[in-house]
């Protein structure tokens, strides 16, 4: 920890971009025939069993998406829905910069044969970094003091999430604020921006058609994951989400990571929802029944992570009271390298499709799965889960519309 109780996470150093300025136009001119695995547009939402025997919907969604109501996007809502349908997505959360113009479009759509739930949030450009409110109940001036902004969002029942927390251009600058509820553990634009200034070889190979150019730049988000754990130790139990951050810029084929379809295809948030509607999606995200999946490495439906103690089972996002020993159960739908983390450290690994680990230890337990990129031979993240917290105080469920931030309860 750094002085003042802030996590000891320094912003990444700025890198020279002189050559990148030359490479980027080339990337946008050339389009390559990639070996990308696109999500199946005909996929149906899966059903998964909850710990109490009920069944939940596994819904594929993308969040942190910009439309023409942002100052830096010209994308239309219809284009966003087109991209969602083309990538088999069940929901999209649009978060325009400091504006609520897209709010009238919040609805459940029957679009190209799919049901797509469109939710409208907002991205505030605050004085200390960018802050999403995924489920706003009102809108506020972005330049009010950041703590006041977070408090207002929480009082109205919103859901404040730190955007691109370690981005080299716009990192979050004050971890002493309270009331945050979520953290972007992956942000496509931040990752691409870092890699285009760091790993030109991958992009040059991609321009020659040797693999998926966007997937080629995906790395494990180590800084964000370390920050997430540091905040957990500080007492901030945040929900981790993956951010698309697409603005709908056109052209460049698969080399354009800011295209809606490319961005939606790369990764998703898989939520385990009680109902296939806006309320069910919101409840699942708030509860942390969410894992980030890099679909370009393979369809993740069939993934499962739970904790069994006696006759009881608990899912990721749930809190488990201290007690007797239990067993963590992980299964994945294809071959991969599974790692079980406790308080930020790996305690068990398995290659294959299953992992079982018995433990009586308290802690914050989560799973990461890596798969090898078949073109480059490099290990890349496939699945990152929210944790199961064992031995931590259970948080009371608060009905929708009447939530208060933890420090006000």
Mean pLDDT lowest for which of 40-49, 97-106, 198-207, 356-365?
Answer: 198-207
What gap in Å lies between CA 179 and CA 40, rounded to an integer? Answer: 38
Residue 15 tokens read as: 């890198």
Q: Which of 175, 162, 146 has its CA nearest to residue 5? A: 175
Residue 120 domain-assigned (yes or no): yes
pLDDT beyond 80 at 17 = no
Q: How many CB atoms lie within 10 A of CB 300?
A: 25
CATH number at residue 347: 2.60.40.10
Range of the domain at 311: 302-394
Question: So what's the pLDDT on residue 191?
Answer: 85
Mean pLDDT of 304-317: 96
Question: So what's the pLDDT on residue 217?
Answer: 74
pLDDT beyond 90 at 400 = no
Residue 78 tokens read as: 């219809």
Mean pLDDT of 275-296: 97
Residue 409 domain-assigned (yes or no): no
Question: So what's the pLDDT on residue 9?
Answer: 43
Question: So what's the pLDDT on residue 39?
Answer: 80
Q: Which position has the higher pLDDT, 376 or 74?
A: 74
Mean pLDDT lowest for which of 41-45, 210-214, 269-273, 312-316?
Answer: 210-214
Tell me the three state secondary structure of residue 100: coil
Residue 55 domain-assigned (yes or no): yes
Do 234 and 355 fall into the same domain? no
Q: Which of 80, 102, 99 has its CA nearest to residue 91? A: 80
Buried b (16+ CB within 10 A) or exposed e, 187-201: bbbbbbbbbbbeeee
Q: What is the DSSP letter of 254?
A: G
Do 295 and 308 fall into the same domain? no
pLDDT beyond 90 at 18 = no
What is the number of structural domains in the chain?
Answer: 2
Do 151 and 288 fall into the same domain? yes
Do 370 and 263 fall into the same domain? no
Residue 2 domain-assigned (yes or no): no
Residue 30 domain-assigned (yes or no): no
Question: So what's the pLDDT on residue 129?
Answer: 97
Residue 134 domain-assigned (yes or no): yes
Question: So what's the pLDDT on residue 281?
Answer: 98
Confidence band for 300, pLDDT divided at 50, 70 and 90:
very high
Question: So what's the pLDDT on residue 29?
Answer: 42
Q: Among residues 277, 301, 325, which one ends one of the domains?
A: 301
Residue 402 domain-assigned (yes or no): no
* Contact status, residue 256 vs residue 249, Cβ threshold 8 Å: yes
Mean pLDDT of 264-270: 95
CA distances from 350 to 27, 282, 308, 346, 381 (A): 38, 33, 19, 11, 15
Q: Is the dihedral of CA 387, 115, 254, 73 positive or negative?
A: negative
Do 141 and 177 fall into the same domain? yes
Question: For the segment 386-396, what is each residue's pLDDT rounded down to a tens digit?
Answer: 999 999 654 43
Q: Which position has the higher pLDDT, 10 or 167?
A: 167
Do 345 and 282 fall into the same domain? no
Q: Which of 119, 83, 85, 89 has its CA nearest to residue 104? A: 119
Question: So what's the pLDDT on residue 207?
Answer: 58
Do 297 and 346 fall into the same domain? no
Question: For the segment 139-166, what is each residue's pLDDT rounded down to a tens digit?
Answer: 999 999 999 999 999 999 999 999 999 9
| Burial tier of 407 (Cβ tally within 10 Å: 0-12, 13-18, 19+) | exposed
Kind and range of the H or E run holding 384: strand 379-385
CA distances from 154 to 125, 134, 180 (A): 17, 11, 9
Q: Which of 70, 128, 68, 127 has its CA nearest to residue 96? A: 70
CATH number at residue 245: 3.20.20.140
Mean pLDDT of 229-243: 96
- Ramachandran quadrant class, 407 (left: phi over 0; alpha: psi -120 to 50; beta: rest): alpha
What gap in Å lies between CA 233 and CA 236, rounded to an integer? Answer: 7
Q: Among residues 273, 301, 329, which one ends one of the domains?
A: 301
Largest CA distance in the chain: 60
Do 275 and 360 fall into the same domain? no
Q: What is the DSSP letter of 259?
A: S
Mean pLDDT (the chain, rounded): 85
Do 205 and 118 fall into the same domain? yes
Question: So what's the pLDDT on residue 10?
Answer: 43
Residue 126 domain-assigned (yes or no): yes
Q: What are phi and psi of 252, to 5 degrees?
A: 90, 0
pLDDT beyond 70 at 26 = no
Confidence band for 187, pLDDT divided at 50, 70 and 90:
very high
pLDDT beyond 70 at 57 = yes
Confidence band for 402, pLDDT divided at 50, 70 and 90:
very low
Do 390 and 290 fall into the same domain? no
Do 192 and 323 fall into the same domain? no
pTM of the entire predicted model: 0.86
Mean pLDDT of 168-178: 94
Q: Among residues 301, 318, 342, which one ends one of the domains?
A: 301
pLDDT beyond 60 at 194 = yes
pLDDT over 70, % of the chain: 80
Do 243 and 315 fall into the same domain? no
pLDDT beyond 60 at 80 = yes
């Amino acid at each position: 920890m750094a002085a003042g109780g802030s996590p000891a996470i320094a912003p990444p150093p700025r890198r020279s971009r002189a050559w990148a300025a030359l490479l980027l136009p080339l990337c946008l001119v050339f389009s390559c025939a990639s070996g990308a695995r696109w999500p199946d547009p005909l996929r149906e939402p899966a059903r998964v069993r909850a710990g109490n025997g009920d069944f939940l919907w596994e819904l594929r969604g993308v969040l942190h998406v910009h439309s023409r109501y942002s100052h830096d996007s010209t994308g239309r809502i219809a284009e966003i829905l087109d991209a969602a349908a083309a990538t088999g997505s069940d929901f999209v959360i649009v978060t325009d910069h400091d504006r609520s113009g897209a709010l009238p479009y919040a609805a459940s759509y029957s679009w190209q044969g799919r049901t797509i739930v469109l939710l409208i949030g907002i991205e505030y450009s605050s004085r200390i970094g960018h802050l999403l409110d995924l489920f706003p109940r009102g809108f506020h001036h972005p330049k009010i003091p950041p703590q006041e902004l977070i408090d207002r969002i929480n009082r109205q029942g919103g859901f404040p999430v730190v955007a691109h927390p370690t981005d080299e251009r716009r990192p979050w600058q004050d971890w002493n604020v309270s009331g945050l509820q979520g953290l972007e553990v992956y942000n496509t634009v931040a990752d691409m921006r870092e890699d285009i200034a760091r790993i030109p070889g991958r992009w040059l190979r991609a321009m020659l058609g040797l693999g998926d150019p966007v997937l080629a730049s995906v790395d494990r988000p180590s800084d964000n994951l370390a920050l997430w754990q540091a905040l957990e130790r500080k007492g901030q139990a945040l929900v981790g989400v993956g951010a698309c951050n697409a603005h709908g810029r056109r052209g460049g084929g698969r080399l354009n990571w800011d295209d809606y379809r490319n961005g939606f295809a790369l990764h998703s948030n898989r939520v385990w929802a009680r109902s296939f509607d806006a309320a069910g999606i919101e409840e699942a995200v708030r509860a942390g029944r969410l894992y980030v999946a890099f679909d370009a490495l393979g369809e993740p439906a069939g993934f499962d992570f739970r904790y069994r103690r006696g006759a009881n089972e608990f899912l990721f996002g749930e809190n488990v009271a201290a007690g007797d020993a239990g067993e963590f159960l992980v299964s994945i739908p294809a071959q991969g390298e599974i790692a079980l983390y406790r308080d930020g450290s790996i305690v068990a690994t398995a290659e294959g499709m299953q992992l079982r680990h018995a433990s009586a230890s308290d802690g914050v337990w989560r799973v990461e799965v890596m798969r090898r990129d078949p073109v480059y031979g490099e290990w890349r993240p496939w699945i990152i889960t929210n944790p199961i917290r064992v031995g931590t105080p259970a948080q009371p469920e608060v009905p929708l519309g009447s939530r208060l931030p933890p420090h006000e309860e």
